[in-house]
Amino acid sequence: MTRPDIVRTILFCELAWLWFWTALPSAQAQQQAQSQHETIVVTGVFEPVPLEEADRPVDVIDARKLSLVSNSIVDFLRLDPSVDLMERGPNGTQADVSIRGGTFEQTLVLLNGFRMNDAQTGHHNMDLPLPLDAVSSVEILPGSGSTLYGSDALGGVVNFITRPPEATEVHARSAFGNFGVNQQSASITAVLDRLTEQLAFSRDFSTGFLPDRDYRNLEYFSNTHFTSRLGSSDLVLAHNDRPFGANDFYGNFDSWERTRTWFGSFKQGLGKQNEVSFAFRKHTDLFVLIREHPEMYTNHHALESYQAAFRRQERLRENARLFYGAEGFQDSIASNNLGNHTRGRLAAYLDFDVRNWRRFSFSLGAREEVYRTMRGEFVPALDVGYWVNSHLKLRGDISRSFRMPSMTDLYYHDPTTVGSPGLLPESAANLEAGLDWNVGSNLKGEITAFHRSEHNVIDYVRRSSADVWRASNIQQLTFRGIEASLKAAVHRSQELELRYAGLHGFQEQLDGLQTLYVFNYPLHSGVVSWQAALPGGLIARSRVGVLKRYGRDLYGVWDLYCARAAGRLHPFLQLTNLTDTFYQEIAGVPMPGRAVVVGMDILLLKQKK
């Protein structure tokens, strides 16, 4: 018997043993918890639970509450210092997102639990066809998520969630600002007896703060929810179109790029225990190296991705659940540079979950994911939580994660960069421990320490500036870090939050080889955020973010938003980079200086159910 077989056998024997060990009284505690705690988290667990019950440090951001004092969905990610958002332009233009020092390929992006990661390259993971008005909440899970979601979730998971509307509404929004900013959006929601529908549209245009840094974002979104005797049904259809100037994005060239995304998903509940789902995503990428001379060098990639899943849950005891299911994925690409390729994989998972509220909880799970070559990845995870008292909770996680190479890692080639078809998947062993401190609703704090040991890390390496960058496996890379936060209600209508993330990486000796991505992480990242409901129906939000990246200078950015939330007319003001700081989230790609956007959101109709 091989070592992986022994690990599998031991794990599933433990699951069987734990099945009979769960007869502990908890029904009354669970009912009390559900009545007192309404914040729900779904990322990081197979079943929605109150946030205090999560055994992982999940950050839940109420997007609907912040929609008037935000400009795009990427604004929500900037509230968490564990998330390293590396934009090449405003409002998500070619944005890379990473968590806990992982590369942008090692963070999994979800929309309602469906994978949005691009098999061509992680540079397109944030090409989400998702207007601001459509987002209900954003959940950020730092650390491993492969047992739940499979490939790519080494550093963490970001899940953008849309929910059925609660009222029939019609509203429109328009704004203008410097750098030629011109924005329009609209949303229509209808709540009927068993049917709800939301239609949303947004347009975001800018002539650019520098030459060849213009952009145009168009997004269309539809979400239909229906309930029947069979169960609940959810249908999402969405599209976006993003042409943008890419000056200095990929070297000293006035480049241009256009990406487009088509997405459709369907979930069907079959009673209370079963669910089936299916999603389709098509993404195209047209890249022109020199904008005025497209004939010199042009790449065109078209990717189609399919995903399907069957999920089931069993209630074993009053406080114990068993979750299991199967998933299938297929990616196909047609490219003048990468060639034509198709790959698929199948996965099965099992998770045993115990919730003895305000005493202890744990989740023991495993996932087996198999490629077409019959090579597999086994990713177990154990999450544990223990309440020392009503205000203090200890938690821990031991898990494994992995990532499949992207199509670019395997097949890309140009005069400076070469892929490697023989790359092995990345893998990582994860260990974390944390403490949550909760004194009612006025004061909350948490601290987490983590250790991640990565193997076969995929990066581009070279020996000198005269060589080409070649995709390679790095045998060993280790990250250790700490995350801390403190949230306080300084007044009945004001909230202040202080957050910090520190990180340190250790890399094996590479005999003089240079690396491109793995040592581009933040050493220190801090966020001070303030939210307030002010007299006159006004609301305000301020964020100060300070970041020190490895090998680069420290910088800070201050953003301030305010709006009128009362009535039908909602004027708003957005001030970004108030200190006019010069900074680069991607080396060699400057970001905008001070910017002002002024607009109006008009509520044309509102009718509660």
Cβ atoms of residues 246 and 212 within 8 Å: yes
Q: How confident is the model at residue 6 (pLDDT cuts 50, 70, 90)?
A: very low
Identify the top-confidence range among 93-97, 225-229, 260-264, 502-506: 260-264
Residues ≥6 apart with Cβ < 8 Å to 386: 359, 360, 393, 394, 395
Cβ atoms of residues 243 and 119 within 8 Å: no
pLDDT at 29 over 50: no
CA distance 334 to 369: 25
| Residue with token string 């559900």 | 34
Q: How confident is the model at residue 606 (pLDDT cuts 50, 70, 90)?
A: confident
pLDDT at 377 over 70: yes
CA distance 446 to 56: 11
Token pair belonging to 510: 């590479």
Q: How confident is the model at residue 154 (pLDDT cuts 50, 70, 90)?
A: very high
Rounded to the nearest 5 degrees, what angle is found at the Cα of 103, between the Cα atoms of 163 and 108?
A: 25
DSSP code string of 488-518:
EEEETTEEEEEEEEEEEEEE---TT-EESST
Cβ atoms of residues 171 and 185 within 8 Å: no
> Helices then strands (H, E): number in the chain?
6, 33
| Residue with token string 């499979």 | 150
508-540 tens-digit pLDDT = 666 778 888 888 899 999 999 999 999 999 999
Q: What is the DSSP letter of 589?
A: B
Residues ≥6 apart with Cβ < 8 Å to 42: 48, 113, 139, 159, 161
Q: How confident is the model at residue 492 (pLDDT cuts 50, 70, 90)?
A: confident
CA distance 221 to 219: 7
46-71 tens-digit pLDDT = 888 888 888 899 999 999 999 999 99
CA distance 534 to 561: 13
pLDDT at 171 over 50: yes
Average pLDDT over residues 565-579: 95
Sorted by where each starts, the structural domains of the chain and their CATH numbers stand as 3-608 (2.40.170.20)
In the chain, what is the straight-line distance between the N-terminal and C-terminal CA atoms, in Å?
61
Phi-psi region of 271 (alpha: psi -120 to 50; beta: other; left: phi over 0): left
CA distance 482 to 522: 12
Cβ atoms of residues 476 and 510 within 8 Å: no
pTM of this prediction? 0.92
CA distance 593 to 488: 31
pLDDT at 355 over 90: no
- Mean of per-residue pLDDT scores for the chain: 90
If residue 235 lies in a helix (H) or strand (E), which one and from where to where?
strand 232-247
pLDDT number for residue 374 = 63
